[in-house]
């Protein structure tokens, strides 16, 4: 992207304009395009899909009335929320209260800058890409804390405090798990990490050694906690804190929090894909740059969306942990284990400086076996519930 603008400036398209202004305009334009074309529909469709998946797991149908299979539900919800009254409680700190949703939103949106959708499709390939993601997503906690404090509501305050403790703690296992990959790849650039992997599953960092395999799940768990997802959704725990930090919000501001939450899900998936699952790497099937770009985008999108689906699925399955157990889980289990993974990976790199292909393939087979066992259990669950006796209601 930056290279493209540099090229345009060299070609004299913006003669007479300061370079900084051109960059600023291009950034605003890029942000607008990303937001309206990609992020908004993505978060919206994710919200719809989450409700549908969740409903089906609960023997319900879910929203299916707006558009085919209800896929336009998110538009209807968005319009409804836009038309609602913008309510600010009289005792709230109005400025912070209004600002908080946007801080959360910006925090998550900035992450899209470095997400590599394809070998060319990236806004800016920063050389500290992954560090940048860790930094900007931490902005979310500021917004949540602001929301919790400024609402002047005790539930909101409790939610905000919980969130601060949670997100700050879970930065550590997430960071350590990411560090294992940074060690392996030798770079912090998102593209660099992807290029260090291959298209085949056994070339992914996930199957590189047992420690990265464990680190992946540690990263995913920590990322769920950072994204306030079940089982770590204690900041908004609706059965305890009513709605936590969003208790006093309504209308569009409320929507912005959830916009950020669902968008953030995708960021989690995208980062996991970049670090562990080979990113946009595709088999060498074509040399046409446009076709290749599309293929890379599709592969990356699907890989990332798989983890969005898994996050939904986890949410449908698990109960919520208590706030002290959350901390215990982080400090007693995840931090030591991610340290272990880090050390293990370092040792592995010392023993096999060039990696161990055979072992990677074995790890991949193990992964396949786990998936196979999973489906065996699914079949068992369906049989055991005796679907032929599925009780017929009157209809």
Q: Does 323 bind another protein (CB under 8 A)?
A: yes
Interface segment toward another protein; rule CB under 8 A; list 56-64, 136-144, 168-176, 340-348:
56-64
- The sign of the torsion formed by the CA atoms of 112, 115, 117, 121 equals positive
Return the structure tokens found at 378: 């699914």
Give CA angle at 25 (19, 30), nearest 5°. Answer: 125
Q: Does 59 bind another protein (CB under 8 A)?
A: yes
Do the Cβ atoms of 361 and 202 come closer than 8 Å? yes
Interface segment toward another protein; rule CB under 8 A; list 92-100, 107-115, 124-132, 371-379:
371-379
- For residues 219-256, one letter each, b for 16 or more C-beta atoms within 10 angstroms of the residue's C-beta and e for the rest, the string is bbbbbbbbbbbbbbbbbbbeeebbbbbbbbbbeebbbb
Minimum distance between the CB of residue 268 and another protein, rounded to whole angstroms? Answer: 17
Select the residue interacting with another protein from 48, 155, 300, 364 (CB under 8 A). Answer: 155
Between residues 95 and 154, which has the closer beta carbon with respect to another protein?
Answer: 154
3-state DSSP assignment of residue 386: coil
Minimum distance between the CB of residue 230 and another protein, rounded to whole angstroms? Answer: 6
Minimum distance between the CB of residue 64 and another protein, rounded to whole angstroms? Answer: 8
Q: Does 94 bind another protein (CB under 8 A)?
A: no
Q: Does 286 bind another protein (CB under 8 A)?
A: no
Contacts of 180 (CB under 8 A, 6+ apart): 211, 212, 215, 338, 341, 342, 345
Select the residue interacting with another protein from 21, 86, 94, 238 (CB under 8 A). Answer: 238
Q: How many helices (H) and strands (E) does the chain have?
A: 15, 0
Residue 341's nearest CA partner among 171, 192, 206 is: 206
Between residues 96 and 316, which has the closer beta carbon with respect to another protein?
Answer: 316
- Cα→Cα distances 197→201, 208, 212, Å: 9, 10, 13
Cα of first residue to Cα of last residue in the chain, in angstroms, is: 57
Q: Does 384 bind another protein (CB under 8 A)?
A: yes
Q: Does 119 bind another protein (CB under 8 A)?
A: no
Q: Does 319 bind another protein (CB under 8 A)?
A: yes
Q: Does 394 bind another protein (CB under 8 A)?
A: yes
Contacts of 120 (CB under 8 A, 6+ apart): 289, 293
Interface segment toward another protein; rule CB under 8 A; list 21-29, 49-57, 253-261, 296-304:
49-57
Do the Cβ atoms of 234 and 162 come closer than 8 Å? yes
d(CA 178, CA 219): 7
Q: Does 194 bind another protein (CB under 8 A)?
A: no
Q: Does 237 bind another protein (CB under 8 A)?
A: yes
Minimum distance between the CB of residue 62 and another protein, rounded to whole angstroms? Answer: 8
Question: If you write DSSP's letter for every residue of 151-199 in order, what string do you get?
Answer: TT-HHHHHHHHHHHHHHHHHHHHHHHHHHHHHHHHS---HHHHHHTS-S
Q: Does 68 bind another protein (CB under 8 A)?
A: no
Select the residue interacting with another protein from 10, 11, 324, 351 (CB under 8 A). Answer: 324
Between residues 106 and 240, which has the closer beta carbon with respect to another protein?
Answer: 240
Select the residue interacting with another protein from 40, 242, 295, 306 (CB under 8 A). Answer: 242
Select the residue interacting with another protein from 19, 80, 95, 322 (CB under 8 A). Answer: 322
Count, residues in the chain: 395
Minimum distance between the CB of residue 270 and another protein, rounded to whole angstroms? Answer: 22
Interface segment toward another protein; rule CB under 8 A; list 6-14, 171-179, 282-290, 383-391:
383-391
Q: Does 206 bind another protein (CB under 8 A)?
A: no
Q: Does 4 bind another protein (CB under 8 A)?
A: no
Q: Does 158 bind another protein (CB under 8 A)?
A: yes
Interface residues toward another protein, by CB under 8 A: 53-61, 154-155, 158, 161-162, 230-231, 233-234, 237-242, 313-314, 316-325, 333, 374, 377-382, 384-387, 389-391, 393-395
């Amino acid at each position: 992207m930056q290279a493209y603008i540099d090229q345009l400036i060299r070609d004299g398209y913006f003669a007479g304009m300061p370079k900084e202004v051109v960059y600023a305009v291009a950034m605003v334009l890029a942000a607008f395009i990303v937001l309206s074309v990609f992020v908004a529909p993505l978060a919206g469709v994710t919200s719809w899909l989450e409700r549908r998946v969740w409903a089906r797991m609960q023997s319900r149908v879910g929203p299916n009335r707006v558009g085919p299979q209800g896929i336009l539900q998110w538009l209807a919800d968005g319009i409804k929320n836009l038309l609602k009254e913008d309510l600010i409680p009289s005792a709230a700190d109005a400025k912070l209260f209004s600002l908080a949703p946007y801080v959360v939103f910006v925090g998550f949106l900035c992450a899209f800058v470095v997400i590599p959708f394809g070998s060319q499709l990236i806004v800016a390939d920063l050389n500290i890409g992954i560090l940048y993601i860790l930094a900007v997503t931490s902005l979310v906690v500021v917004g949540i804390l602001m929301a919790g404090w400024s609402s002047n509501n005790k539930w909101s305050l409790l939610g905000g405090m919980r969130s601060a403790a949670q997100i700050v703690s879970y930065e550590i296992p997430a960071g350590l798990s990411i560090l294992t990959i940074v060690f392996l790849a030798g770079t912090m650039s998102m593209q660099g990490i992807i290029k260090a992997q291959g298209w085949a599953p056994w070339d992914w960092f996930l199957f590189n050694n047992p420690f990265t395999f464990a680190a992946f799940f540690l990263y995913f768990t920590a990322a769920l906690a950072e994204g306030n997802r079940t089982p770590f959704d204690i900041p908004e725990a609706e059965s305890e804190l009513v709605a936590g930090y969003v208790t006093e919000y309504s209308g569009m501001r409320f929507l912005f929090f959830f916009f950020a939450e669902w968008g953030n899900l995708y960021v989690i998936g995208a980062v996991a894909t970049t670090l562990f699952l080979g990113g946009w790497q595709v088999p060498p099937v074509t040399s046409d740059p446009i076709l290749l770009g599309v293929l890379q985008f599709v592969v990356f999108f699907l890989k990332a969306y798989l983890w969005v689906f898994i996050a939904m699925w986890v949410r449908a399955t698990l109960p919520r942990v208590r706030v002290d157990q959350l901390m215990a889980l982080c400090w007693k289990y995840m931090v030591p284990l991610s340290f272990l993974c880090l050390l293990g990976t370092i040792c592995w790199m010392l023993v096999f400086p060039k990696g161990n292909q055979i072992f990677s393939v074995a790890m991949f087979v193990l992964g396949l076996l786990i998936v196979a066992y999973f489906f065996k259990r699914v079949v068992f669950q369906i049989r055991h519930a005796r679907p032929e006796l599925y009780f017929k209601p009157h209809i």
